[in-house]
Amino acid sequence: MILYIIAFRRDSAHGRGMAHDHRTHDLVERLALGATFACLAHCVLLPVAIAALPAMASVVPIPDSVHIALLLLAVPSTGYALLIGYRLHRVLAPVLFGVFGLICLALGAITWGRTPLEVPVTILGSLAIATAHLANWRLRRAI
- Evaluate if residue 133 carries a pLDDT over 80: yes
Lowest pLDDT segment from 52-56, 64-68, 97-101:
52-56
- Structural domain of 40: 21-141
- One-letter amino acid at 123 equals I
Residues 71 and 105: beta-carbon distance below 8 Å: yes
Give this prediction's pTM. 0.67
Q: In angstroms, rounded to a whole number, what is the distance separating the alpha carbons of residues 70 and 46?
A: 15
- The answer to the question of residue 3 being in a domain is no
Q: Rounded to the nearest 5 degrees, what angle is found at the Cα of 88, between the Cα atoms of 82 and 93?
A: 50
- Evaluate if residue 20 carries a pLDDT over 80: no
Q: Where residue 40 falls among pLDDT bands split at 50, 70, 90?
A: confident
Q: Which residues pair with 11 in a beta bridge?
A: 16
Residues contacting 107, CB < 8 A, separation 6+? 117, 121, 125
The total number of structural domains in the chain stands at 1
Percentage of the residues of the chain whose pLDDT score is greater than 90: 35
- The answer to the question of residue 14 being in a domain is no
- The answer to the question of residue 52 being in a domain is yes
- The answer to the question of residue 42 being in a domain is yes
Q: In angstroms, rounded to a whole number, what is the distance separating the alpha carbons of residues 33 and 45?
A: 18
- The answer to the question of residue 66 being in a domain is yes
Per-residue pLDDT at 1:
45
